[in-house]
Amino acid sequence: MTIHSRPRILSSLSSLLIAAATVAFVQPASGLPLLDKVLPHKTPRPQAPAAELDETATLPPEKAKRIAKHTELGDTFFKRRDYTNALIEYEAVVKQDKDNFKAHYMLGKVLMAMSDYEEALSEFQNVVRIRSTSSDAHYMTAEALRMLGRHEEAISEYENSLRVNTKYAPAHAYLAECYRMKGEYRVATREAKEAIKLEPNLVVPYLVLAKCYSETRLPDLSIDNYKKAVGLDPKDPVTRTQFGVALGHMKKWSESENELRKAVEADPNYAPGHVGLSWILAKRDKLEEALEQARLAVSLAPNDADTHSGLAWVYSQIGDHNSSVMQYRLALRIDPKNPKLHKALGLALSDRGDIDGAIAELLHTTKLMPHDYESELALKDLMQKRSQR
């Protein structure tokens, strides 16, 4: 899909005021959400000097003036989080100057903010093509790949970024996150600590360490690193959401709800915060408020699979299995290759009494996740029920 033929489905998202982030939020039979990804904390500014991004110097004066105007408008809209109009302005630049480094870079950032990671990846790959020696171009390509769950490819691009700039702390931090997602906790811990050494006030590596310690059953160290992350930026909803959900996994229900309420107070338009709050409210049997929060999350981020899966789980908790199945299907339309969503849909279909549909989804899940014990057990149980009909 070319940049000029991109569907304007994004026009319905002009009120989407969330950062370039998403939470991998799906529900296994236990009902606990799996916040697998560390969210991009703050998208870094281009490392290149401002002069390097000024590509109008060699253009005819009138053309340069038009490009500068569109770029300035795009920057203004982006700062206001008016992503639809920012998209239009940067596309106008590319239409006049197809290899404009900054326009492609900013288009990628806009699309990341709108959770359109496939299109963002395409833009950042253009940036790498235009300027392969840019550390930031490789870094943002890696970010898009990471958000798509393509961790091996992301690792390669983070390493390319670090070859150009070995001391770029965010690249070390998210390289650590990719290794964490692969279960390589020792390497992840090493990279996170390197990021902290280079930039002690960077939040992300503390989040990665917190998750590594949690997953290796060191809860005290995990909480300590979450507190360090929150302390660096107490008003950041991303960090508080991560901490709040982690506390919930530790069954610290009251503390969890407190952190998640602080997250949505810090930024009422931050959809993952509402998803997390809806989860903890449901866990505490506050189902009416949980449903309200989950619906609000979907209204803030209608093009995000995570908000739909969060709402699906809340519906399952109140016994509305038809609505739960519908929301999981909507999530899969957005993220059709997500095995955990297929698993969640299979379990929801089972709860609805659709044995054949559940078996079909879980068979697909076992192909995507051949070592998932829970899916195998559920599938075996459903096969037995079908044979007894």
Residue 171 lies in a domain: yes
Provide the pLDDT for residue 385.
86
User: Does 225 reside within a domain?
Assistant: yes
In this prediction, residue 39 has a pLDDT band, given cuts at 50, 70 and 90, of low
Average pLDDT, the chain: 86
Which pLDDT tens digit goes with each residue over 195-253? Answer: 999 999 999 999 999 999 999 999 999 999 999 999 999 999 999 999 999 999 999 99
- Output the pLDDT for position 388: 82
Question: Is residue 224 a part of any domain in this protein?
Answer: yes
Q: What is the CATH number of the domain that holds 198?
A: 1.25.40.10
| Residue 202: inside a domain | yes
How many domains are contained in the chain? 1
Per-residue pLDDT at 16: 26
> Has residue 385 been placed in a domain?
no
Q: What is the pLDDT of residues 280-308, one digit of tens each?
A: 999 999 999 999 999 999 999 998 899 99
Q: Which two tokens stand for residue 293?
A: 């929060």
In a domain, 288, yes or no: no
Band of the pLDDT at 10, cuts 50, 70, 90?
A: very low
Cα–Cα distances (Å) from 318 to 267, 314, 343, in that order, read 27, 7, 20
Identify the weakest region by mean pLDDT among 9-18, 154-163, 302-311. 9-18
To the nearest whole percent, how much of the chain has pLDDT over 70?
85
Residue 154 lies in a domain: no
In a domain, 211, yes or no: yes
Question: What's the Cα-to-Cα distance from 335 to each of 19, 20, 340, 375, rounded to whole Å?
Answer: 19, 16, 10, 19
In tens, the pLDDT along 85-131 reads 999 999 999 999 999 999 999 999 999 988 789 999 999 999 999 99
Q: pLDDT value at position 40?
A: 53
Q: Look at residues 180, 179, 174 and name the one whose alpha carbon lies nearest to residue 195.
A: 174
215 is in which domain, residue-wise? 167-235
At residue 148 the predicted structure's pLDDT band, cuts being 50, 70 and 90, is confident
* 4 or 132, greater pLDDT: 132
